[in-house]
Structure 1
Amino acid sequence: MSQDEVSPQAAAPIELTGNWTTVITEDWRWRMATPPKGDYTSLPLNEEGIRVADMWEPEGDDANCKAYGAGNIMRMPIRVNISWEDDATLLLETDHGMQTRRFHFNPQDIMAGEPTLQGDSVAEWEGATLKVVTRNLKPGYIRKNGVPYSENAVVTEYFDSHLTYGEQWFTVSVVVEDPQYLSEPYYTSSSFKLLPDNNEWNPVNCEDR
């Protein structure tokens, strides 16, 4: 970065750092608990997606933490801490699931490696919105009852900050594209409210959820 360039941190049009908690006001039965096998309501699964989801067995499945991958983690009942790791990398950490995501504004900072649950995320400011595109993912779930996305999935997220009832919130709109298992892109949105401190932070490994 040259001396004349402004870092992504300095150029940030919105404030996303801090401690946040998800506020679940819709899709309660799918987000707060593991739905029964075969409950694919509202999901755009193709035939292969249904076939793979029908193979799901709940016993011991939480051990692989697939529902906490980047394709679904922002739908989970979690708290998040967001901070700047450096002036071009946002760090997002979760208490439940104990996952760490890095949003790189400089794509060249991403080291080539094996797929992971959180993948490789490239970030940019689009007006007053944070856009994050994630690839290089391990297979995961878009619903805890074994509804899959593949290693070829692309997850695009849009973070928007807003005031609601005088409190600071952000809403993240998520698009999961995966022709292997989905007949069309899968759209969701989830809202988070700013907390005054981290007193409610409660790390729980995804195997224990």
Structure 2
Amino acid sequence: MKKAKVAILISGRGSNMSALIEAAKAPDYPAEIVGVLSNKAAAPGLDIAASHGIATASLAQSKFPIREMFEDTMTQILESWGTDIVCLAGFMRILDESFVDHWLGRMINIHPSLLPTYKGLHTHERALADGATEHGCSVHFVTPGLDEGPVILQAKVPVLAGDTAATLSARVLVEEHRIYPEALRMLANGMARIPATLH
């Protein structure tokens, strides 16, 4: 079985990155993690990836005069690893349309809400403020619009009486770690595809 080569973009500890790395250790998993790239040199996830023998790189956008040069260099690094699929795991930068278009249909993200509700940041706080009875997470294709790409998988969790953003976040994170590897499996083996109308 030829495995899809996957690169992960992170900005921090990359707990979803770790879930993907563990899933990819299974012999029958259709993807392998070939590299982890961070826009922060101090991201703890880089050390975790390196401890698994995975190539790592860090790239600070502040070193580049324009964003396009930063993202072109990111693509060069990703392609040097032979990347087929890009997974965003807490990568805290808005990506330019040209970068997204280059990887369209091959780049996915995990978002802590039941999209299309609560795009963007502070999803748990917003769900609680709205009195939502359920919350969750979504794995979706990355398109130029923020958190607007087609959803591959979702998982729901109930919002409990007395929940705080921290307790709700912790429960959602368990589901993130479960569905992200499953969504990557679906993309790598051809079961998930971005609609042709978006290409």
Q: Whose helix proportion is higher, 1 or 2?
A: 2
Q: Whose strand proportion is higher, 1 or 2?
A: 1
Q: TM-score, normalised by structure 2?
A: 0.29
Q: TM-score, normalised by structure 1?
A: 0.28
